[in-house]
Chains A and B, each alone.
Chain A
């Protein structure tokens, strides 16, 4: 089990920022209805934290989740939980709580920085990990932003 925190902030001045942000927000708005599995509309009211995308996937490449799904073969060896926040008002953190059935397996604290941030945590899989899982994405004030449900299969 390892954890990586990736942040990449694209700040090249006001003019550079406005265009991509607008495009990303528009893309996020279009993408959200199709992602019934990850409840991305949740917000942390205290910190104006807007979760744009949350998925469990096979890997991350170029800050994009690869093969997001809700079933993963144990043979993959590891899986990742990717979260992208469209609006981060101030430096804060979130928690990725990994549960196998109702048992807490791991809790990962991930930093978030303004104005946008993407981050992920990963989970190494073992033979005994087959079964239903969930990852609770929790804000620093313990608000559950979303719950991602998936299964580890043969």
Chain B
């Protein structure tokens, strides 16, 4: 149903507008869910709501401060979460970014992992195993050796074997592969850790609390298994529990049918929330308080016929009186409003155009109320050249007994360029006023041409100075 947002009706463009932005919001959720970006985004959304409430209530400083923080939010997000954004964009192809649901297909063989950890614990072989989440860990890890080995129980046991040069570092498991070994992790500075936790535990927590990775620690001294995730440290007494945590972290569900259904429900709920949010945002933009504004916009003349020049316009700028929702009017930039006049049917001479909404390009949701001036005249003409004689424009008052009897000018003719119609209308080009009151005897002087029509100019940029030679004589008295 074709409806206008300003008249209370929703158009098909508005439906597309809402759905498109809903999908963008939904994709951002899918790509960044589980990472700290989503938490910060939620925080910013809360700040926005808080700022609106503060504005409504009249908390001036609070509203101002919130507005500043939100304005800088885009920059803050890009700087603080550059690693997360990079990992999402680098790890996914375009199709995955636009359509896919990442992180659920490359399943790590949890059984192999749990069996290996169990074996390591029973042998009291110290181990540090990293299972990355969505965030990029490159800036947090140091050193190590690139591995890319297919995960197996034997491989893990051999990596952490005491005689192995890389056994002291951490291994990184991504999907089915051990991608890195012997990696050094940042140590946690927390003071509340139990005494039994050594360097290996601090390293595990140091990474976990600075990322969304999960880290498995096998104590060399006690053979106990500990999981570190975020700020949390979980003692593992049962290997089944370890498997459960790993599956949860890796997004692997034990019963595919049920898990898929649960995931679908979760994504559908997220999509619905995105739709509700975006509809709310759309309505807040388009159904805000009606605001009036006036803009002065330059007129653009288009499709001028070849050979014709614009020599005069009644106005080069017009005033537009616009209205629309406050948010739309406030966010409207000068480059979004354009006024153009199509000269394709204009003829040489004066052409008159009635300006209407068809001459004005406005952003969606903005309405044109009035244009001033509503009528625009444009004078078009062909460019022509003409040789014109020069005449001195004598002025002032000569001494009573004197008269100028002769004068010659150099150059005697000047070539002018301009609109052919204007050139046709003139036969002489005059100089500036030359005051004869200052002259007392024959002589020479220099003056300049006075071009009254702005469209005319001296051809080839020639000099407009004119040299005048004149003869003064005494006046003869009349016979009475």
Contacts and interface: CB of A to CB of B under 8 A. Distances in A.
B430 A73 contact: no
B394 interface: yes
B313 interface: no
Interface string A98-110: 0101100000000
B362 interface: no
A4 B252 CA distance: 119
A67 B478 CA distance: 9
B394 A70 contact: yes
Given A66-B478, A131-B393, A71 B436 contact: yes
A153 B395 contact: yes
A151 B403 contact: no
B398 A153 contact: yes
A141 interface: no
B404 A130 contact: no
B406 interface: yes
Interface in A49-63: 58-59, 61
Nearest to A62: B479
Contacts of A151: 392-395
A61 B397 CA distance: 25
Interface string A50-94: 000000001101000011111101000000000000000000000
Given A151-B395, A153-B396, A69 B430 contact: no
A153 B404 CA distance: 12
A113 interface: no
A25 interface: no
B55 to A, nearest CB: 66
Interface residues of A, number: 27
Contact of B428 (A36, A70, A134): A134
B476 interface: yes
Interface in B258-307: none
Nearest to A34: B406
Contact of A69 (B393, B403, B427, B428): B403
A99 to B, nearest CB: 8
A58 B436 CA distance: 18
B406 A67 contact: no
A67 B395 CA distance: 18
A130 B425 contact: no
Interface in B379-397: 389, 391-397
B475 interface: yes
Given A61-B479, A69-B405, A102 B398 contact: no
Contacts of B141: none
Interface string A33-44: 011110000000
A153 B391 contact: no
B475 A101 contact: no
Nearest to A132: B393
A61 B478 CA distance: 8
Interface string A138-154: 00000000010111011
Given A69-B404, A134-B391, A102 B436 contact: no
Top 6 A-B residue pairs of the complex, sorted by shortest distance between their CB atoms: A151-B394, A69-B403, A154-B397, A71-B394, A71-B404, A132-B393
Given A66-B476, A101-B430, A102-B425, 19 more contacts: A36-B408, A37-B406, A58-B478, A59-B478, A61-B478, A66-B478, A69-B403, A71-B436, A73-B398, A99-B427, A102-B428, A132-B428, A134-B391, A134-B428, A150-B394, A151-B393, A151-B394, A153-B398, A154-B395
